[in-house]
Structure formats: structure tokens, C-alpha cells
Amino acid sequence: MRYALSNWIYGEEALEETCARLARLGFDGIELRGEPHLYDLPRLHNLLQEHRLTVTSICGMYPGPREPRDLSHPDPALRAAAVAYVRACVDLAHATGAGVVIVTPNPVGKTRPLAPLAEEWHWAVAAVREAAEACAGRTVRLAIEPINRYETYLINSVPRALEFAQQVDHPAVAVMLDTFHANIEDRDVAEAARLAGPRLAHIHVADSNRQGVGRGHIDFRRLMRTLVEIGYAGTLALEPLPPLADPYAAMAGRRGGEVAERFAAESLRLLRLYEQVAAPVEGPLTDA
């Protein structure tokens, strides 16, 4: 498995600083905030080479009214704009070698439909299918992310995401697991991963309180054992947030500084330990 960290949690921190931080802590890669206009690709490639990092994924951003990126919106023009945004993220993923673009079919903060639910579901399915055409001939998949009911309404759980992906019926569309959201919505985080099985394209990691691994009550030992058992070979992208009243203040630059650094370091150490313990022993066992 590979380990990355989503750079949106460090807000307006310069990309040079974030890449240096991840290299120092021992991460394999970086998950880029899905704002394609932010990145100068030659400069980004130089930074990645310098710090021996890869871009593992593009974290699509769907922040509600601030950016009308609603793939389920009743207005066809707004849906078309959301499709164009996802396609731009796919272009960024292709240009940087990332294998995953995260897709939330309705934006964070939209907790009620604007039209009958069945219609918004249908519009979202069609919009994601259209966006997925940008993946043709590219090693990029769209990963449908379930978000908890207090932030969105359309897709809250892994079974619901699987149902959605099945209806989209496109080879480039898969699902992802976010441990924080799954802790709220899925009966069992590890079993949600097992249920997703081969359609599990990506994982976001934060504990039950949205902080670092080990600071809440999610059983990450069991989750890592399950991931080893199902043969998950993707990325675990850390997304721990400092204990702020508004966790999204991190994206506005008011990050937790040393707290966020500590969460990242602790989480990476524990996850690698749990993966190592869960890994099958190769060769014959001998007495010590």
C-alpha cells in the first residue's frame, strides 16, 4: 500500500513546504487539492522529483454555494459546469500520473434535494457517466466518495456508493472509503471496505473525531488486516484535521501547524505498523 496526505488540509501553505514536509515524514506521495488552475505543471514535476514523491490522487472539491459544482443540480447548465470541472481534474490526474479523481455527486453542505430525489439521482448518474468519458485511454478512475448525512444527502454510505457506481456502469467509475464518514454511516468500517472489494479505488484516513489515527475509536488494526485480506493495493491518503471549531478553516489557511504535523506523523507510523503486522508471513515458519 502507498501512503499520501491530502494537501488541502494545509490550507494556503506553499506547495514547496508541503512536499518537503511529506518527504521528511516519509510519505510516498501527495494527494492534490482538486483546483487545476493552482498548479504550474513543470514546477510541480520538479518538486515531485526533488522530494521523491508521486501524485497519488486528485481530491475533487465540492464546497457547495462557494463553487457551483453540483452533478445532481436541476439546472442543466450547472450540471454541465460540474462535469467540466471533473473533466479538468481528470486532465490534471493524467498530467501528474495520479490514478484517482475523487467525485462527490452532490456538494458538501447540500443536505436536501432541490428536486425529487429520484430525479437528482438520475441526473447525477448521467453526469458522472459523461465525466467518466474523459478517462478513456487513461489510467485514471473516478472514485465516488460517500459523505456523512450532516454534510450531504445523496450518497452517505459505501453500499449507496456501490449502487450508484453500478448504475453509472462505466469501467472508470469505482468507489472509495473515508474512514471518518464511514464511522458515522456504515455499520462497520472494515466490513465496508470488504464489501467494496475490487471496486475500492481509494481510501481517506482520519479517526472518528477527524483527527489522527489512534486519537479516536476506529479499529485501524482490523481495517488494515481487512485491506491485506482483500488485496487492496491502492493509496491511503491521510486527511486528519486539527481540533478546530470549523475543520474547514484549515483550507482557509488557519491550520493547526504543529498539531497537524503531529497527526500526520503519528498516523503514518501506526498505519505502517498495522499493515506490517497484518501482512502474511512468507516462507516456512521456524522456531526462534
> Rounded to an integer, what distance in angstroms lies between the CA atom of residue 152 and that of residue 181?
11
Structure confidence at residue 261 (pLDDT): 83
Nearest-angstrom CA–CA distance, 129 and 171: 10
- Residue 13: per-residue pLDDT: 85
Q: Name the pTM for this structure.
A: 0.92
* Alpha carbon distance 180, 178 (integer Å): 6
**pLDDT more than 70, % of the chain:** 92
pLDDT value at residue 87: 98
pLDDT the model gives residue 101: 98
Higher-pLDDT residue of 9, 224: 224
What integer is the mean pLDDT of 4-33? Answer: 93
Residue 286 in this model has a pLDDT that exceeds 80: no
Say what the pLDDT of residue 288 is: 35
Q: What is the DSSP string of the chain?
A: -EEEEEGGGGTT--HHHHHHHHHHHT-SEEEEEE-GGG--HHHHHHHHHHHT-EEEEEEE---GGGS---TT-SSHHHHHHHHHHHHHHHHHHHHHT--EEEE-SS-TT--S-SS-HHHHHHHHHHHHHHHHGGGTTSS-EEEEPP--TTT-SS--SHHHHHHHHHHH--TTEEEEEEHHHHHHHSS-HHHHHHHHGGGEEEEEE--TTSSSTTSSS--HHHHHHHHHHHT--SEEEE----S-SSGGGGGGT---THHHHHHHHHHHHHHHHHHHHHSPPPS-----
Per-residue pLDDT tens digits for 63-111 = 877 778 999 999 999 999 999 999 999 999 999 999 999 999 999 989 9
Q: What is the pLDDT of residues 25-63, one digit of tens each?
A: 999 999 999 999 999 999 999 999 999 999 999 999 998
Residue 68: its pLDDT value, please? 80
Q: What percent of the chain has a predicted confidence (pLDDT) above 90?
A: 83
Mean pLDDT (the chain, rounded): 92
Greater pLDDT, 207 or 258: 207
pLDDT digit string, tens, across residues 242-276: 776 666 666 565 555 677 788 999 999 999 999 99
What are the chain's domains? Answer: 2-278 (3.20.20.150)
